[in-house]
Structure 1
Amino acid sequence: MTASLRARPWTRSALLAIELRAARLHERRGLIELARRIGVNKATLSAWEHAARTPRIEDVAGILGALGVIGEHKARILELARHPDTDSMIFGRRGVPRHFAVAEVCARAAERIVDWHPLLVPDLPRTADYAISVARYSPPQTRSEIEHIRAHCEANRAILSEKGVCVYIGEQALMHPMDDATVVAEQLHRLIRIQQTNRRVSVRVVPNNIGSHVGLSGTFTAYQTEVGQIVHRPLSCCGEFLLDGDGLYANLDTQLGDIALTAADSAAFIARHAMRLATAAS
């Protein structure tokens, strides 16, 4: 499977494979059962779910119909199927944050996740209040968009409880004033609680004094999946997804690991900043 994917490293076909498998597992349908219902053999369906082969849009529509997938979920998957041979695409628009949904599907399919942001607390461990405060720096949100943010944060909470995750945070993120020091202080306390209660999650701070490094070029979340490493780079209300075929982001993960504080030192570092913010807010 890996060799076939490397020979044709299209991001959308990889995402389509992840979405199809996730939809089948969500409906608790077996591979043989679903293959029989849509009129293909088990090997073909398995190849589609592992991105070794790309199904036609008619095949995808048949799968979604057999699984009872409807509405925005169906539209999102069909959009992937229309142009699967694409290296990188942007998902989502205001009011319909498809990039959140795609990121959540990738996270559930991942064996390991790396979450990095040089200037803010990364996406996965954010509290809803912190995420909403961050979003205020982009164009104004509707009530629906705020509800999407809260739902996304709740989904991320579940993902953190289930997956192996390494969260890298730039020191600057701990000092960000935002709109309310209390919101940031609570966010920092949540990072400490995550570190203390979940051994599968590592929270590590990248100090400001380490000089220039490649990771400062931008935020990303990397999902290690069966079809390859999928990288999500958020772009305002949208998100760009890339298949890390050349290992660039795997290398960034290594670089960040080399320069970040240990998990224990990071927890103490975060606690000091949380105390400073709490004092400022009182």
Structure 2
Amino acid sequence: MAKSPKTLALGSALRAARQDKNITLRDFAGQLGIDFGMLSRWENGLRIPKPENVAQILTSLGVVGEQYKGIMTLVRDTAADHWTATSSLEIEQLTAAFRSAEKNSALITSVCPLLIPGLLQIPEYVRAIMVSGTCLTDAEVEERVAARIARQDVLVRPIPAGYTVLLGEAALRQQVGGPAVHLKQLRHLLKMGGRANIDLRVVTFEESWHSMLDGAFHMFTGDTIETTVVIESREMQTWLHRPEHVNRHRRAVRDALDIALSRADSMHFVAGLAHRMEQRFGHLAEVDP
């Protein structure tokens, strides 16, 4: 059976809780009276522990409060066809798993009809979203901006992930943060789009209905995870891992690539938007590239 994202998240949370106490896997297995190999399989998402096993592990490690509650939410429906998070606690757990999958992926695909994806956002763009769309304090905003920018290391590390991003024209025209931020964001896309591991493709308004109009999603493939899909919306996030579900999104990506501008034409399109902004707002010409 394929390892579900929720099972992997549960295993990762159990391993982190044990490591926080500086206890080796073998010593902890002996302490619990559990087979060493079974505990290892639980932590690696290869087997699903029973709720009472998870409770025993957390109690032995002294995990209490919100951390205990958060890990126990991962025990339910671990083998389900999908993982949908709606509560703030569930979304926090899924987001942590999302970041882990992103970090460990060899190939990432983002389909973004309306907004620039997080891996290509500049700090000012992130900040504008956080300030306008949330009720966070200034300190919380800056913490989240820093966390999102740190995630972008996956694209520039010594062995970077391959990244295909399909952008709707609306994402390139929406002036999140105002004209100055927008121009800086366009310039950043041109810079990142020039990297060998990034294939930035634009789908223009000239196209009729297409699969991207169904909404944004991200696809991850790596050595430690099978290909999975995360769908984002304002009120919930859903993670799909069954092959039939993933394949439908693969087809959506292929369909979008069929109508998208070529890589070279996409870069030319973004450059044209930036140039027209510079002409329209002459005082923005000195914005840092």
Place the TM-score, normalised by the shorter chain, in its bin.
Answer: 0.7 to 0.9
Identity across the alignment (%): 26
Q: Secondary structure of 1:119's partner?
A: coil
Aligned residue in 2 for 1:253 = 253
Letter matched to residue 25 of structure 2: L
Q: 1:99 Cα shift?
A: 4.5
Q: 1:149 Cα shift?
A: 2.7
1:117 matched to 2:108: no
Aligned residue in 2 for 1:223 = 220
- Assess, with a 3 A threshold, how the Cα gap between structure 1 residues 109 and 273 changes in structure 2: closer, same or farther: same
Letter matched to residue 133 of structure 2: S
Q: TM-score, normalised by structure 2?
A: 0.76
Separation in structure 1 between the aligned mates of residue 196 and residue 268 of structure 2, nearest angstrom: 17
Q: 1:207 Cα shift?
A: 1.9
- Assess, with a 3 A threshold, how the Cα gap between structure 1 residues 100 and 45 changes in structure 2: closer, same or farther: same
Separation in structure 1 between the aligned mates of residue 117 and residue 186 of structure 2, nearest angstrom: 12
Separation in structure 1 between the aligned mates of residue 153 and residue 58 of structure 2, nearest angstrom: 25
Show structure 1 runs of 5+ residues with no match: none
Separation in structure 1 between the aligned mates of residue 45 and residue 225 of structure 2, nearest angstrom: 6
Aligned residue in 1 for 2:287 = none
Separation in structure 1 between the aligned mates of residue 62 and residue 261 of structure 2, nearest angstrom: 47
Aligned residue in 1 for 2:73 = 79
Q: 1:218 Cα shift?
A: 0.4
1:234-280 Cα deviation digits (max 9, x unpaired)? 22275332224312222222222222222222111111112222333
Q: 1:189 Cα shift?
A: 1.0
Separation in structure 2 between the aligned mates of residue 108 and residue 72 of structure 1, nearest angstrom: 25
1:138 matched to 2:133: yes
**Equivalent residues, number:** 270
Where in structure 2 are the equivalents of 1:155-234 lying within 5 Å?
155-161=150-156, 162-196=160-194, 198-225=195-222, 226-234=224-232
Q: Is the 8 A contact 1:50 1:227 kept in 2?
A: no
Q: 1:98 Cα shift?
A: 4.6
Q: Is the 8 A contact 1:16 1:81 kept in 2?
A: yes
Separation in structure 1 between the aligned mates of residue 190 and residue 59 of structure 2, nearest angstrom: 45
Q: Is the 8 A contact 2:109 2:164 kept in 1?
A: yes
Separation in structure 1 between the aligned mates of residue 134 and residue 145 of structure 2, nearest angstrom: 17
Letter matched to residue 104 of structure 1: R
Separation in structure 1 between the aligned mates of residue 48 and residue 191 of structure 2, nearest angstrom: 43
Aligned residue in 2 for 1:152 = 147
Where in structure 2 are the equivalents of 1:1-20 lying within 5 Å?
4-5=1-2, 11-17=5-11
Q: 1:163 Cα shift?
A: 1.5
Separation in structure 1 between the aligned mates of residue 267 and residue 62 of structure 2, nearest angstrom: 45
Q: Secondary structure of 2:251's partner?
A: helix
Q: 1:54 Cα shift?
A: 0.7
- Assess, with a 3 A threshold, how the Cα gap between structure 1 residues 229 and 187 changes in structure 2: closer, same or farther: same
- Assess, with a 3 A threshold, how the Cα gap between structure 1 residues 72 and 272 changes in structure 2: closer, same or farther: farther
Separation in structure 2 between the aligned mates of residue 109 and residue 237 of structure 1, nearest angstrom: 26
1:108-131 Cα deviation digits (max 9, x unpaired)? 222211112101112221112112
1:181-238 Cα deviation digits (max 9, x unpaired)? 1111111111111122x32222111222221112210001111244422222222275
Q: Is the 8 A contact 2:25 2:40 kept in 1?
A: no
State the superposition RMSD in angstroms: 3.5
Separation in structure 1 between the aligned mates of residue 70 and residue 279 of structure 2, nearest angstrom: 46
The answer to which of 214-223 and 172-181 deviates more is 172-181
Separation in structure 2 between the aligned mates of residue 244 and residue 279 of structure 1, nearest angstrom: 49
Q: 1:164 Cα shift?
A: 1.6
Q: Secondary structure of 1:279's partner?
A: helix
Letter matched to residue 134 of structure 1: I
Separation in structure 2 between the aligned mates of residue 214 and residue 190 of structure 1, nearest angstrom: 26
Separation in structure 2 between the aligned mates of residue 75 and residue 155 of structure 1, nearest angstrom: 27
Letter matched to residue 213 of structure 1: H
- Assess, with a 3 A threshold, how the Cα gap between structure 1 residues 236 and 44 changes in structure 2: closer, same or farther: same
Q: 1:104 Cα shift?
A: 1.0
Show structure 2 runs of 5+ residues with no match: 284-289
Letter matched to residue 211 of structure 2: V
Q: 1:90 Cα shift?
A: 0.9
Q: Is the 8 A contact 1:224 1:230 kept in 2?
A: yes
The answer to which of 257-266 and 143-152 deviates more is 143-152
Q: TM-score, normalised by structure 1?
A: 0.78
The answer to which of 219-228 and 39-48 deviates more is 39-48
Separation in structure 2 between the aligned mates of residue 132 and residue 119 of structure 1, nearest angstrom: 17
